[in-house]
Amino acid sequence: MALPWIEKYRPKNLGELISQDSIVETIQKFIKNDQMPHLLFYGPPGTGKTSTILACAKQLYSPSEFNAMVLELNASDDRGIGIVRDQIMSFASTKTIFKKGFKLIILDEADAMTNDAQNALRRILEKFTDNTRFCIICNYLSKIIPAIQSRCTRFRFGPLTEDKMKLRLDHIIQIENVDITEDGMKAVVHLASGDMRKALNIMQSTHLAFNKVNEENVYNCVGHPSKNDMLRVINSLLNDDFTTIYNKLIHLKTLKGYALQDILTEVSRFVQMIELPTKALIHVLEKLSDIEYRLSNGTNEKLQMSSLISTFITVRSMCDSKPSIPV
Which has the closest alpha carbon to 167: 52, 18, 5?
18
The rounded percent of the chain whose pLDDT value lies above 70 is 93
Residue 240 phi/psi, 5-degree rounding, is: -90, 170
Residue 98 phi/psi, 5-degree rounding, is: -95, -40
Dihedral of CA atoms 26, 29, 33, 34 in degrees, nearest 10, equals 60
Give the pLDDT band of residue 326 (cuts 50, 70, 90).
low
DSSP run (H or E) holding 192:
helix 182-192
- Domain boundaries along the sequence of the chain: 5-156, 162-222, 227-317
Average pLDDT over residues 81-91: 74
Domain 5-156 class in CATH: alpha beta
Higher pLDDT, 54 or 96: 54
Instruction: For domain 162-222, give the CATH number.
Output: 1.10.8.60
Average pLDDT over residues 212-228: 89
| Buried b / exposed e along 252-265 (16+ C-beta atoms within 10 A) | bbeebebebebbbb
Give residue 251's identity as a one-letter amino acid code: H
Strands (DSSP E) contained in 68-204 are 70-74, 103-108, 132-138, 153-156, 179-180
Sorted by sequence, the CB contacts under 8 Å of residue 165 that are 6+ apart come out as 189, 192, 194, 196, 199
| Order of strands across the sheet that contains 132-138 | 70-74, 103-108, 132-138, 39-42, 153-156
Write down the mean pLDDT value for the chain: 88
Q: Would you state the pLDDT for residue 97?
A: 59
CA 255, distance to chain mean position in Å, is 29
From the number of C-beta atoms within 10 Å of its C-beta (0-12, 13-18, 19+), residue 4 rates as middle
**Worst-scoring range by mean pLDDT, 94-108, 231-245, 267-281?**
94-108
Dihedral of CA atoms 319, 320, 324, 327 in degrees, nearest 10, equals -130
pLDDT exceeds cutoff 60 at 327: no
- pLDDT digits 0-9 by tens, 294-318: 999 989 999 999 999 999 999 988 8
pLDDT exceeds cutoff 90 at 112: no
User: What CATH number does domain 227-317 carry, 3.40.50.1370, 1.20.272.10, 3.40.640.10, 3.40.47.40?
Assistant: 1.20.272.10
Higher pLDDT, 50 or 120: 50
What DSSP line would sit under 197-220, residue for residue? HHHHHHHHHHHHHHSEE-HHHHHH
